[in-house]
Structure 1
Amino acid sequence: MHQKEKFRHQSLQDCKSIKELLNAIGKGFSKGQLTFSDDGNEWFLLPKGLLDCKVSVSEDEARHRLELKISWDKPDQKYTQGELKVK
């Protein structure tokens, strides 16, 4: 089993900083390469083809939440195309 590798960053930001972050992500998608870094860690992603996009919004008494998840298959990903069996 292959272990997942992760880059994770969490910090408090104001609305202007979030807008700049989202703009930078948009530019990365336009170029076909996203680069994330902090404290010496650097992560590169190469989005290609169709991307799976999920937006979730929720609210409770104390907090609002917006989640944006975007995923895609690696270009060199090989799939086993065996026969599908359902019982």
Structure 2
Amino acid sequence: MQHSKDNFRHESLQDSKTIQSILKAITKGLAKGELTFNDEDGEIVMHPNGLLNLKVTATQDEFKHRLNIRITWQSEDKTEHKRPLAVNSTDSK
């Protein structure tokens, strides 16, 4: 659908069994430490590691229901390595 070197987006209409299969593939990729997403327009490979942030939101109204699952993490290559925090205290009486 929409792609660039660091961006992949796919949207399609699927039945629940196909979505279950996609979610199972994602869980296997998370366990393995490598997620590959591709379609006819492109591909992206991601390497989740360390602590991952999980955000789940669910909404519903009379006609529309939505479930969003977002998983984010920091890439070790792009993580800024900052000096450890140092705190000094002086007693002044």
TM-score normalised by structure 2 residue count: 0.78
Which structure's residues are more often strand, by fraction? 2
SS at match of 2:8: coil
TM-score normalised by structure 1 residue count: 0.83
Q: Which residue of 2 aligns with 1:43?
A: 44
Q: Which residue of 1 aligns with 2:70?
A: 69
The amino acid of 1:9's aligned partner reads H
- In structure 1, list runs of 5 or more residues that go unmatched: none
Q: Which residue of 2 aligns with 1:19?
A: 20
Q: Which residue of 1 aligns with 2:80?
A: 79
Q: Give identity over the alignment, percent.
A: 45
Q: Which residue of 2 aligns with 1:30?
A: 31
Displacement after TM superposition at 1:78 (Å): 3.4
Q: Which residue of 2 aligns with 1:58?
A: 59
Q: 1:40 and 1:57 mapped to 2: Cα distance?
A: 29
Give the CA RMSD over aligned residues.
Answer: 1.8
Q: 1:46 and 1:20 mapped to 2: Cα distance?
A: 20
Please identify the structure whose Cα radius of gyration is greater: 2
Off by >4 Å, runs of 4+ in structure 1: none
The amino acid of 2:72's aligned partner reads S
